[in-house]
Structure 1
Amino acid sequence: VSGTLGNSKWIVVASSVHRWDDTRILYRQAASLSALGKVVLFAPAPFRRKKMGNITIIGIPPWHHKHQRIRLIASLYFTFRNNIKHVKSIHVHDPELLPLIYLLHRKNKHIGLIYDMHENYKELIYSKSWIPLFLRSAIKKIYVWVEEKVIPELSGVIYSPKELKNKLLSLNSRAVRIENYPILKRESAFPNLEEIKRGNNKVVYLGQMRRIRGIMELIEAIKVVSKTIENIRLEFIGRAVPLNFEWEIKTKIQQLNLESYISVRGHLPYDEALRLARDANIGIVTFLPTPNNISCLPNKLFEYMQLCLPVIGSNFPHYAEIIEKNNCGLLVDPSDPNSIALGIIKLLSDPDLIKKMGNNGRRAIDNEYNWENESNKLLNFYYETLSVNLL
């Protein structure tokens, strides 16, 4: 990562982890912020530079080892420092970038600095398989210390898990909750209510496949369902994390003789994945009860709702607030394959219920859970916290 930002004043968005085409960062936030001026996005990408409307994407090399990650963060710091006079604000999306913006802030207090917390990071540490078990508690303490040191110095904080509200407001009064809801304008990938025609007993899982997201339990549930519904189909659409987990998934499918019932399609472009999912009957989001999973609402929940898919979700309080409130799906025990299977069988046995719940979910997206509403919150937040910088 090197070079200059030129003579323009930029709104900088940066991630050292999330891909350049991350839906929250690029298609929602960066696209909305481009209404305020030129946006430059630094994120892992297979190219060096790309322009999309008022957004310039600077590709940074994906890291594969810890030392590469450290060098990458250092490189970002020097790039920002050397071009600081061309920067209006810096909006970072990863906890490891907190020290970076803190160091920049010490000598550049006129620059707007925003930290975006997608998840409850201090709890997420315990589910990171690459962190040795004996180090996780210590790393959590270090992260909390950094958070309490840096966040009060920032221009503002954006967060998603609502449990973080009181803690963040105690550190910085300029904290706002902004969810990653679907974009209503991207209608090409989504059906209208009257266009829904299904009868193929297809179930879909969208997004990254991780062990803590209940993938193995879902496979076992399909084995149970197949004894009642012979033409059941499950499609996994997304990459496995870590990559060798895909081998475990396929091995599990073979062991249970489910090759004709389950397909693993891997990562697909966002709109292509949604177009493939739109023909399903049910969307699955049965994450296992880890602290972070319990406190966060996954994107796929709302994507299923926009696709008019009834949802089978984990029986967590946050999920219930959406699914039960809008009568758009069923709650199950994500750690029990039989509970998941019963939910799938109940819906597939009642086409009218599928249609009713699917339509309920879509109406909720149209009326409440959409990015257009969240975009207004984001722009107002920028105006209120960074009004001087944006002039």
Structure 2
Amino acid sequence: MKVCHLTSVHPPEDIRIFVKECVSLYKGGHDVSLIVRNSETYEKDGVKIIGVTANASNRFIRMVKGPMAVYKKALEVDADVYHFHDPELIPVGLLLKRKGKKVVYDVHEDVPEQVLSKQWIPGPLRKFVSNVVKQVERFASKRYDAVVTATPTINDRFKTYTPNSVIVHNFPIMSELMGNTENELNASLENGQNSKEPYVIYVGGLTKIRGVLEMVDAISELNAVHNPRTKLYLAGAFAPAELQREVEKKQGWNDTEYLGFLNRSQVKKYLSQAKLGLVLLHPEPRYMVSYPIKMFEYMAAGIPVVAANFPLWKSIVEGAQCGLTADPMNPKEIAEAMKWILTHPEEAIEMGKNGQKAIVEKYNWEKESETLLQLYDRLAN
């Protein structure tokens, strides 16, 4: 089929949208395009990336101009199936349905829950906006041909709206972060445990709600009781940008290396040498039932995990025996978990191997892509 993915928010080579879904659909035999706001137009890995211009001076203008530009270009593409990835494109999906097209809504996040913690929405309005979003999603999803959800919790909600809702987890691509042979894997694990400058790493958005303040405090707590001194490597972008200045005032910043944004090959390089990976999001309701891609990427890279002790995350980490969990709001407890892994190198290597085994057996994109392709087979028929 001729397939067109749409986004007015994400970058052109977004990991879930482009690297995983679009490329998998192309390899599955489909003609695939991806329309992206404010991007260049080019082709990569068989996928035609089509940029549309929609500049805006503020968030609200962007939420109008972006979808309008994407819709206009979508009509020009004249695809059989349109697969969109942003809540602000819900009206675009409905307009495309009126044109007789097949439409798929890809739900990455639990948006009504997400709204409750959006700082740019005035506090008294958040619950109202959350309910409006939920009703809009209910109305629209009944009219689409399918809904793709990233987690079981999100899927449970959409199943009450439409039977055509399927889970496609955002798990890592096995071949991207794992060694190709057992010898390469063992060498990577040994290198990480014996690296001259020991470091722990976090890769992702650097925000308060994702635990950047607690991680920097935790590295300070760790180095107060553990030798050799261990560095914290932070990879990602601070949001808002002013947060970096607040973090730099902390004592733990002296033991922190800020790497900025890393491309995928750089992520692989830094993970291969790390002692462990951190994923310590705050206990927001939407995070507590999420499947954090970074945790699974650490597992794929073969490094132990120190994760927030949410019941779901704890069941994954303990079930795979691939790391430890801690209270994400307690830097001392985080430091204790890191110290245990750092002072038990043989167990750490086993945790790394266990994590990779769990990725191979269960938590990988290769299995999830089969679900996506099966959905498209049904749409074709």
Q: Calculate the TM-score normalised by the size of structure 2.
A: 0.92
Summarize the alignment of residues 322-333 of structure 1 with structure 2, pairs less than 5 Å apart: 322-333=316-327
2:29 corresponds to which residue? 36
2:282·2:328 contact (CA, 8 Å) conserved in 1?
yes
Distance 2:334 2:20 in 1: 32
Q: What residue in structure 1 maps to residue 15 of structure 2? A: 23
CA deviations over 1:228-286 (Å, ceiling 9, x no partner): 2241111001111223322322233xxx1632x10111111122122122100110001
Structure 2 partner of 1:356: 350
| Partner of residue 3, structure 1 | none
- 1:163 matched to 2:153: yes
- Of 201, 221, 224, the match for 1:224: 221
* 1:189–1:74 Cα change, 3 Å: farther
The answer on 1:209 being equivalent to 2:187 is no
1:320 aligned residue (314, 319, 332): 314
Shift of residue 368, structure 1, vs aligned partner = 1.5
Please give the alpha-carbon distance, in whole angstroms, between the structure 2 residues aligned to 1:314 and 1:361.
16
Kept in 2, the 8 Å contact 1:33–1:379? The answer is yes
Could you tell me whether the CA contact under 8 Å between 1:14 and 1:92 is conserved in 2?
yes
C-alpha offsets along residues 23-82 of structure 1, whole Å, 9 cap, x if unaligned? 11111001011123221112245x42010132011234575622133111111122223x
Instruction: Please name the residue that 1:4 is paired with.
Output: none
Summarize the Cα distance change of 1:148–1:205 in structure 2 as closer, same or farther, 3 Å threshold: same
- The letter for the 2-side match of 1:100 is V
Q: Aligned to 1:199, which of 194, 198, 216? A: 194
| 2:103 paired with 1:113 | yes
Q: Does the 8 A contact of 1:203 with 1:234 survive in 2? A: yes
Compared CA separation, residues 257 and 249, structure 1 to 2 (3 A): closer
Is contact 1:190–1:274 with CA below 8 Å preserved after alignment?
Answer: no
Structure 1 residue 142: deviation in Å?
1.4
1:289 corresponds to which of 278, 283, 299: 283
**Are 1:241 and 2:231 counterparts?**
no
1:1-391 to 2 correspondences below 5 Å: 10-34=2-26, 35-44=28-37, 47-61=39-53, 65-66=58-59, 67-81=61-75, 83=76, 86-106=78-98, 108-109=99-100, 111-186=101-176, 192-195=184-187, 196-197=189-190, 198-200=193-195, 201-230=198-227, 231-252=229-250, 256=251, 258-259=253-254, 261-384=255-378, 386-388=379-381
C-alpha separation in 2, matches of 1:292 and 1:78: 33
3-state SS of 1:87 partner: coil
Q: Quote how far apart the aligned CAs of 1:189 are.
A: 7.4
Q: Distance in 2 between matches of 1:308 and 1:20?
A: 28
Counting matched residue pairs gives 370
Write the deviation string for residues 2-21 of structure 1: whole angstroms up to 9, x where unpaired: xxxxxxx7311111111111
**Is the CA contact 1:37–1:54 (under 8 Å) kept in the aligned structure 2?**
no
Deviation of 1:148 after TM superposition, in Å, equals: 1.2
Q: 1:64 to 1:347 in 2, by over 3 A?
A: farther
CA distance in 2, matches of 1:211, 1:90: 35
| Inter-partner Cα distance in structure 2 for 1:53 and 1:307 | 24
2-side partners of 1:225 and 1:60: how far apart? 48
Q: String of CA shifts for 1:96-142, please: whole Å, max 9, x gaps.
A: 11111112212x23x11001111111101112112221221121121
Judged with a 3 Å threshold, the aligned counterparts in structure 2 of structure 1 residues 131 and 29 are, in CA distance, closer, same or farther, namely same
Q: Secondary structure at the match of 1:376?
A: helix
Amino acid at match of 2:120: W
TM superposition shift of 1:184? 1.9
Deviation at 1:162, TM superposition (A): 1.2
Deviation per CA, 1:176-215: give whole Å up to 9, x if none. 1111111123357788431122234310001111111111
SS at structure 2 position matched to 1:284:
strand
Q: Return 5+ residue gaps in structure 2 as ranges.
A: none
In terms of mean alpha carbon deviation, does 54-63 or 304-313 score higher?
Answer: 54-63
CA distance 1:152–1:30, change in 2 (3 Å): same
